[in-house]
Amino acid sequence: MAMIRIREAAALLGVSDDTVRRWIDGGGLTATKDATGRLAIPGHILAQFARTHAATAPDPPPTGSSARNRFAGIVTRLITDGVMAEVELQCGPHTVVSLMSRQSAEQLGLEVGSLAVAAVKATTVIVEIPKADR
């Protein structure tokens, strides 16, 4: 399960680190200590929270891609069947949906709460993951 640190969560939601801490302190967002002892939010919890609280989209992390329209976000829903996968990302105030093979979603390790980048070219949405997560 992905654990998202406060700073990353703030960037994904388009708010300040302090706002995320206030949400945690106020009980609106659940966080725990990660393996290094830092406060982090389980990815699936942040995904659920992002659906109703996201603001502006953060700049996507660098990747090797020719696509120009890229939106960093968090996977908020993943539906798979025998062959296909529907991946929903919350990218700031925008919801982006990508259809891909189930095998591609599995190879990327996508799950609710995963950080990902939607790369949009023409009518196709390509989902990428940051290089550090590979």
Which domains can be identified in the chain, with CATH numbers?
A: 3-51 (1.10.1660.10), 69-133 (2.40.50.100)
The residues near 81 (Cβ < 8 Å, ≥ 6 apart) are 102
pLDDT band at residue 39, thresholds of 50, 70 and 90?
A: very high
How much is the pLDDT for 65?
Answer: 63
Residue 123 tokens, joined: 């009518």
How much is the pLDDT for 120?
Answer: 82
pLDDT band at residue 105, thresholds of 50, 70 and 90?
A: very high
Q: Which residue has the higher pLDDT, 61 or 16?
A: 16
How much is the pLDDT for 15?
Answer: 85
How much is the pLDDT for 55?
Answer: 58
Backbone dihedral region for residue 30 (phi beyond 0: left; psi -120 to 50: alpha; all else: beta): beta
90 within 8 A of 25, measured Cβ to Cβ:
no
